[in-house]
Amino acid sequence: MQQILALQLKRIGDLIVTAPALHRLRDRLPGASVTLVVDSKTAGLIPVLGGFDRLLVYHKGRPNFSVWRSLVAHSFDACVDFTGSDRSALMTRLGGSSKNITSEKLAGTSWKRHIYSDCVAASVREMHTIDYYQAFLTPLGIECGGGDAPLKLNIPAETDSRISDLLVKNGLHSSFALVHPGSARSEKYWDAERWARLIDHLKRERGMSCVLSGSDAPGEQAHIAEIKRQTTAGSCVDLSSGLTLPDLAALIRRSSLVLGVDTAAMHLAGMLRRPQVVLYGPTNPFHWRPRHENAVILLAGTDHPLEQPEFVPRHAAAPMSDLPLDLVLRAIDGIGGIPGVAATPR
């Protein structure tokens, strides 16, 4: 059996958009055994994403003796390093494979180039990130065209049941919109008052309650608290506190509409093909946008939803304050298949 080592030690968003590459690897090499190494901050979502046989979790600031011992003891036939850090380069070397793969840019310095046998020419600047990570598989003879295939998330039954009970407990028996306003980067935040007015609009005009999701990070919780303060009573339910990554995936799967800024929740919604509206400003949707037909992409400083060929590798970043509320409301009207929302031509 072929033994393959895959390294993705970056943030949760990168891990999610690496999942299509991991699944394609499994599909094209069904007899291979894949060992995946991830950072501890993202490990909670790994069982939900799937695409691996064996998991190693790296904890920053700890010795991680078990991880290092496992890499040395195991005999790998190939390593795909999606990370490109000094740490992942050392992991690649310890994996003992003669076929070590990364990108030319990530290989970087001359000492790293002695570790990798194959450096793919893929450019993260010139490609969507999903395509970029899939390009790492070409030295294994795996061609990665054909667009984004939807992922079947492995949400544990107990998680799904708990979320179902939580929704019922909060009076959410029918269609709801999931609003994920936070991010690890505060410059991605949209104005709290605009979120509040949007939430009230959905309740008043569409009969849709909203569920607020997010992390327990203090900045995110403060942003969510301000949104709640400005909404009309009964317009939204806050389920953000204590929400695990599998919980978030279960909520997204049950939602009728997902709204948020460029963050991991929107990547998950894209993988699940949920109707969604994603707000961009400082980050470029060319690299990170969901690409299914029910995804609407809004960029600060423009007056319409973006479509091909408007996505370009370099864009003029704009503050989120340049994204007006009425544009987001019109975008929601343009999505079909949502209870209470009649699609209009874009």
Backbone angles phi, psi at 322, to 5 degrees: -85, 10
Per-residue pLDDT, averaged over 273-285, amounts to: 96
Answer yes or no: pTM beyond 0.75: yes
Per-residue pLDDT, averaged over 198-212, amounts to: 93
CA 200 to chain centre: 27
Distances (CA, A) of 162 to 156, 157, 158, 177, 272: 10, 9, 6, 18, 20
Residue carrying structure tokens 């900045």: 219
Greater pLDDT, 103 or 338: 103
Task: Tell me the pLDDT band of 344, cut-offs 50, 70 and 90.
Answer: very low
Instruction: Measure the N-to-C terminal CA separation of the chain; round to a whole number of Å.
Output: 51
CA 255 to chain centre: 16
Task: Tell me the pLDDT band of 334, cut-offs 50, 70 and 90.
Answer: confident
Q: Where are the domains of the chain?
A: 3-140, 157-333
Residue 324 neighbours by CB under 8 Å, 6+ apart? none
Fold of 157-333: Rossmann fold (3.40.50)
Residue 259: name the closest of 318, 319, 323, 302 by CA. Answer: 323
* CATH topology identical between 3-140 and 157-333: yes
CATH number of the structural domain 3-140: 3.40.50.2000
Task: Evaluate if residue 89 carries a pLDDT over 50.
Answer: yes
Residue 199: name the closest of 221, 227, 171 by CA. Answer: 227
Task: Tell me the pLDDT band of 336, cut-offs 50, 70 and 90.
Answer: low
Residue 212: name the closest of 200, 228, 234, 201 by CA. Answer: 228
Task: Evaluate if residue 340 carries a pLDDT over 80.
Answer: no
